[in-house]
Copies of this chain bind each other. A is one copy, B any other.
Amino acid sequence: MMKLYNFHASSTSYRTRIVLNLKGLEYEYISIRLDRGEHLGFSYGEINPMRGVPTLEVDGVRLYQSPAIIEYLEELYPDPPLLPQDALGRAQVRALASIVGSDMHPVNNLRIRNFVRDTYKQDADGVAAWIGLWNQAGFSAIETMLRADKYRKGFCYSDAPTIADAYLVAHAFSAVRFKTDMSPYTEINAVIANCNALKPFADAHPSKQPDAGG
């Protein structure tokens, strides 16, 4: 069975769990408690050189970086497809995913938040302002793209979940946690509601994971 080194509240972990669940894949959940700095210890550095989560272990081979892991899962387990069949559609879905995965999440993740707090002496409101600024830029762009796509039916692309929905749902959870105002993004909110009504998304939610709370 595959092993997923991950953490309940990590949005890169969450997006990967959504994809695993959508594909109907079972995996062993191995908790790396970011809140206790377990990713910074020697033993996790031996598992993942970047010390990031998630790491997916498949037959003893470790795969890093959720964008690479998600593409791997899509290639190995193409049913149900989480990318469109046509190249332009795939480019659209990957662009939406990349706005989250490159422009939004990386500037808001734990190491960056901690640095902004500790080195630039930002209190909780200051950190939330930093987070909110980059979230607003990204969500606004995604909302614009969703509104411009006249063929959409309830999800980021067409009428079924793609990897873009996995990225978006997971990041929106983090955004709300850090008090980003989601009210302007009516299309995004509709997509998120449709996704969260599906069991693969609901089961991947941070609150449902074995290391939640505690």
Residue of B nearest to A87 (CB): B75
Kindly provide the distance from the CB of A74 to the nearest chain B CB, expressed in whole angstroms: 10
* Most chain B C-beta atoms within 10 Å of own C-beta, residue among A50, A58, A71, A87: A50
**Cα-based distance from A86 to B211 in the complex (angstroms):** 34
Q: Give the B-binding residues of A (Cβ under 8 A).
A: 49-52, 58, 61, 63-69, 71-72, 75-76, 87-88, 90-95, 97-99, 101-103, 105-107, 111-112, 115-116, 120, 122, 130, 133, 137-138, 140-142, 144-145, 148
- Starting from the known contacts A49-B141, A50-B103, A102-B102, 16 additional A-B residue pairs (CB-CB under 8 Å) come to A50-B99, A50-B137, A63-B95, A64-B98, A65-B98, A65-B99, A67-B98, A68-B90, A68-B94, A68-B95, A69-B91, A72-B88, A75-B90, A101-B102, A107-B112, A116-B120
> Closest residue of chain B to A145, judged by CB?
B49
- Contact residues in B for A141 (Cβ distance below 8 Å): 49-51
Query: Looking at the complex, which one of B90, B115, B122, B144 makes contact with A71 (CB distance below 8 Å)?
Result: B90
Contacts A87-B76, A106-B106, A133-B115 known; A98 to B68 CB distance under 8 Å?
yes
